Amino acid sequence: MKASDYGLIMLVAGLLGFSCKEQETAEQVVRPVKLVEVASLGSVQKSFSGIVSANQFSDLAFPLSGTIRRMNVEVGEHVRQGTVVAEINPSTYQLDYEAKKVAYQKAEAQLQRAVNLLSKNAISKQEYESNQATYANAKAMYENASNNLTDTRLKAPFDGFIQKKYVENYQRIQSGQGVVCLINPDSLQIVFTLPEDNVAYITTDHSEIQVEFDAYKGRLFRTRIKEYVEASPDGAGIPVYLTMDDPTFDLEKYRVSVGFSCRVVVTIENDWTKRGMSVPLSAVFYDNHLHCKTVFVYIPATGSVEQRMIRDEGYLIGRGYLVVSGNLHVGEQVVAAGASYLTDGQRVKVLVE
C-alpha cells in the first residue's frame, strides 16, 4: 500500500470518528424542562364579570314636533302605566282638531241628507257617492287630528322608573326625539362578555349558568340564556344576555337593580368531562408530521420524554389550561416549558421551582 493511500484512509477514518462523536454528543444533549401534572376533570367551570341591565326599557318620544310645555317627572321617579310624563304645547293641534271636527260634522250632516234624498230618488247615485266620499275623507282627517291632540301628552306604557331625561321644559323637539328613558325595575337581565374561543361553554346542552351578585356574596342564582351575538363585532368578545330563571330569586328580598355588578359562573359536566383532563396550553403543540396535536410526557424511569397524540376538546379553563382527551393519564407529567426544542425519546433535566 502506498503511503499516500494509507494517509487518505486515516483521514477518512478520522473524519468518520469525529462525525460519530458529534452525533453522539447531539444525542446526549439534555434539555431543561418544566413539568406540570395532568389533572382530572369532574366538571369544567369558568367565571366572568357581568352587570345588571334592564330587560324592559323604552326611550319615550312624541310622534309630533313641538315645544315642551311641561315635564312632569324627574330622574329616579317611579311612575305608573298611563302616567303623563310630559306635554307639548297643544295650541296648534287644538286649532287643527277644532277645524277638522267642524268639517267632519258638516260632511256627516250632508251625507245623512243625501241618504234621505236618495231614498226619494231626489238625487242621483253618483251625487250620493260623492257625499259619501267627502264624509269618509272628513272622518279620517278628524280622527287623525284627534289622535294628534292626544299625542301632545306623552304617557308611560308600563310601570317603571325614569332613568334619564333628555330634554327640559320649553325645549323645541322633533318628532321621534327621545324625551325620557323609562325602565321596568322588575324585569332585569344580566349582560357579560364571553371570549370567542369560549363560545362552546354556552352552546353545549350540558352547561349550567349561575350568577352571584356582589351585594349577596355566596348566593348563586340559576339563569338561562336570553340571546347572544354569533360573532364578536369588534374582536372584544361576544355579548351574552341572561334572564333570571331561579324561583328563589325575589326582588323584594334581594334588592338588585340596574347597574349592579355580578359574577357569572358557567359550569359544564358531560361525558367528555368524565374522560377529559386539563393540561397547560403551553404544553400542546401541533406536529406537522403526525398531523395532530401532541404533548411530551415525562418518563421518570428513563429521565426522558415520550411524544403522545391528544385530542383538543375546545375548552379553555382557569388561566391558560386546555381540556384534552386521548393517550394520557391523570397524574402523569407533561412538559409545560421547553417542549418546542424536544424530540421523542430525548433525555431532559427537570427544573424545580
Q: Are 62 and 174 in contact (CB under 8 A)?
A: no
* Residue 5 banded pLDDT, cuts 50, 70, 90: low
Contact status, residue 153 vs residue 87, Cβ threshold 8 Å: yes
154-167: per-residue pLDDT in tens? 999 999 989 899 99
The residue among 35, 66, 92 whose CA lies nearest residue 303 is 35
What is the pLDDT confidence band of residue 25, given thresholds at 50, 70 and 90?
very low
CB neighbours of residue 15 within 10 Å:
10
Average of per-residue pLDDT values in the chain: 86
For residue 270, what pLDDT band results from cuts at 50, 70 and 90? low
Q: What is the pLDDT of residue 347?
A: 93
What integer is the mean pLDDT of 114-132?
Answer: 93
Residue 273: per-residue pLDDT: 54
pLDDT at 70 over 90: yes
Question: Does pLDDT of 279 surpass 60?
Answer: yes
Domains identified in the chain and CATH numbers = 30-55+187-353 (2.40.30.170), 58-183 (2.40.50.100)
Q: What is the mean pLDDT of residues 6-26?
A: 47
CA 21 – CA 15 distance, rounded (Å)? 10
**Considering all CA atoms of the chain, what is the largest pairwise distance in Å, rounded to the nearest integer?**
149
Cα separation, 222 vs 252, whole angstroms? 17
CA angle 232, 210, 229 (to 5 degrees): 15
Q: 210 versus 40: which is more confidently predicted?
A: 210
pLDDT at 186 over 90: no
Task: Specify the long-range contacts of residues 222-228, CB closer than 8 Å, at least 24 apart.
Answer: 222/246, 223/190, 223/264, 226/55, 226/189, 228/194, 228/202
Average pLDDT over residues 29-44: 83
In a 3-state reduction of DSSP, which class is residue 66? strand
C-beta separation of 192 from 50 below 8 A: yes
Q: Is the pLDDT of residue 60 over 90?
A: yes
**Which has more pLDDT, 86 or 234?**
86
Write the DSSP string, 23-42: HHHHHT--EEEEEEE-EE-S
Tell whether pTM > 0.85.
Answer: no
What are the Cα distances from residue 163, in Å, to 222, 323, 351?
27, 44, 58
Please report the pLDDT score of residue 340 as a whole number: 80
pLDDT tens-digit profile of 233-267?
777 789 999 998 898 998 888 988 888 999 999 88
